[in-house]
Amino acid sequence: MPNVLRGEAAFEVDGKTYRVRHSWNSAAEYEEAAGKPLSDALLDIAREKLSARSLRAMLWAGLQEHHADVSLKEAGRLIDRMGRAEAQRVMAVALRYFFPELEAADEERGSDPPTPAPSA
């Protein structure tokens, strides 16, 4: 079971459970594999426009702590099996603890607009 207090998320593919955890090490791994800063990917997640390269690198980097045997290409195969939407959901859950501003952005996006004051 993932420890959400440590920024972990879990998903299942073909009957196997995988745990994703984002940390400073995974952030650095992501940046090396994707060739861009993690902050750019966070903006892409908020806009729901994460590239295939970024999503694959982010999943791979997050898997390294608990599943170091998963290669970058295998991370892509896992996305194929679970689907892009589920992979993005898992990344958003795992990144919320490490980057709390994502949760604030989700709450802001989901809230109703303020009710205007009655006119006089």
Query: Using CA atoms, how far apart are residues 81 and 53, in angstroms rounded to an integer?
Result: 16
Instruction: Classify burial at 68, counting beta carbons within 10 Å of its beta carbon; exposed 0-12, middle 13-18, buried 19 or more.
Output: exposed
Residue identified by tokens 């009957």 is 15
Predicted structure pTM score: 0.77
From the list 113, 34, 78, 20, the residue with the least C-alpha distance to 42 is 34
Tally the C-alpha atoms within 13 A of residue 8's C-alpha that lie toward its C-beta: 15
CB 83 within 8 Å of CB 90:
no
CB contact set of 119 (below 8 Å; sequence gap of 6+): none
Per-residue pLDDT tens digits for 33-52: 999 998 888 888 778 788 89
Q: Binning pLDDT at 50, 70 and 90, where does residue 5 land? A: low
Q: What are the residue ranges spanned by the domains of the chain? A: 4-105
> Beta strand pairing status for 8-13 and 16-21?
antiparallel
Average pLDDT over the chain, rounded to an integer: 81
Note the pLDDT tens digit of each residue in 60-74. Answer: 999 999 999 999 999
